[in-house]
Amino acid sequence: MNPLSVVARTVCNLFAWFLAVFGIYVIVHGHLTPGGGFQGGAVVATFMAFLLVAHGGRKMQSWVRKELFTLMECVGLTIFISAGLLGMSNTFFFNFLAKAGGLFGSTVPLGPNPGALNTSGTIALMNLSVGLEVVGGLSMILLYMFSGVHPEEPFGREETGHDR
């Protein structure tokens, strides 16, 4: 695919970062606010979609490495399964970190409360790992699909007709 015009590229360069920050917020606050790993990961993956559409597949293929996203997906899934298996002394997916002190181990007061980040045990950890997995997976899908697009006839260097 060919890159879009310079206006579209500038706007996408700016707003892709806002999307990434919002998606990371949704992932990190998954145990406090609506959303979680899957939803926030999908939002972060739109970062890659924006840049791919704006700059074209060929340029992005040279900017990013698919191995990085493969690594993100594998590490996320491995942390998720390990967190499930580590509670195996009780049950599969037992929340062994909750209320234990240490990482994500604080207790929450019962009833309505503003919420603290360092709570909820493996739930927060699994949110982070699933977010990592979804970001890697969806970005890989986008990159692979863009590398599979072969336009029949070559166009100009940029898309023409939007702003000129």
Partner 1 sequence: MKARILFLVSILVVGGLLWSGLQAVHPFGEPNSAPMDEYFIANAQSEAAANNVVTSIVFDYRGFDTLGEGAVLFTAVISVAALFRKRGQH
Contact set with partner 1 (CB under 8 A):
30-34, 36, 38, 73, 77, 80-81, 84, 92-93, 95, 98-99, 105-108, 110-111, 113, 115, 119-123, 126-127, 130, 133-134, 137, 140-141, 144-145, 147-148
Half-sphere exposure of 69 (CA within 13 A, CB side): 20
Q: Give the integer Cα–Cα distance in Å for 112 and 119.
A: 15
Supply the minimum distance, in Å, between the C-beta of residue 77 and partner 1.
6
Q: Give whole-number Cα distances, 98 to 75, 77, 88, 89, 133, in Å.
A: 22, 21, 15, 15, 23
Supply the minimum distance, in Å, between the C-beta of residue 128 and partner 1.
11
- Beta carbon nearer to partner 1, 5 or 106: 106
- Beta carbon nearer to partner 1, 7 or 81: 81
Supply the minimum distance, in Å, between the C-beta of residue 116 and partner 1.
9
Alpha helices in the chain (DSSP H): 6-28, 37-55, 57-63, 66-86, 122-147
- Beta carbon nearer to partner 1, 12 or 27: 27
- Beta carbon nearer to partner 1, 16 or 77: 77
Is the CB of residue 158 less than 8 Å from the CB of residue 3? Answer: yes
Supply the minimum distance, in Å, between the C-beta of residue 83 and partner 1.
9
Half-sphere exposure of 31 (CA within 13 A, CB side): 21
